[in-house]
Amino acid sequence: MIVDFLVNSEKYISLHKDFKLVFDYIKNHDLKNMECGKHIIRGNEVFFNLQEYDTKPVQKLEAHKKYIDIQVIVSGAEYMGYTNINNTSLKEEYDEEKDVMFLSSDRVDKVYADNNTFIIFFPQDAHMPALSVTEPYRVKKAIFKILLEQ
How does pLDDT run across 71-83, given as a tens digit for each residue?
999 999 999 999 9
- Residues 94 and 62: their CA atoms lie apart, in Å, by 10
How does pLDDT run across 23-75, given as a tens digit for each residue?
999 999 999 999 999 999 999 999 999 999 999 999 999 999 999 999 999 99
Confidence category of residue 150, pLDDT binned at 50, 70, 90: low
Residue 149 pLDDT more than 90? no
Domain total of the chain: 1
Q: What's the CATH code of the domain at 41?
A: 2.60.120.370
Strands of the sheet with 61-63, listed across from one edge: 89-95, 100-104, 61-63, 125-131, 77-84, 109-114
**DSSP class of residue 35?**
P
Where b means 16+ CB within 10 Å and e means fewer, 74-94 reads: bebbbbbbbbebeebeeeeee
Confidence category of residue 146, pLDDT binned at 50, 70, 90: very high
Identify the domain containing residue 63 by its residue range: 2-147
How far is residue 67 CA from its own chain's centroid? 10
For residue 23, what are the contacts with CB-CB under 8 A and spacing of at least 6?
Answer: 6, 9, 10, 12, 13
For residue 33, what are the contacts with CB-CB under 8 A and spacing of at least 6?
Answer: none
- Residues 44 and 19: their CA atoms lie apart, in Å, by 15
In this prediction the pTM is 0.96
Measured in degrees and rounded to the nearest 5, phi and psi for residue 122 equal -90, 170
How does pLDDT run across 77-136, given as a tens digit for each residue?
999 999 999 999 999 999 999 999 999 999 999 999 999 899 999 999 999 999 999 999
- The H or E element containing residue 20 is helix 19-28
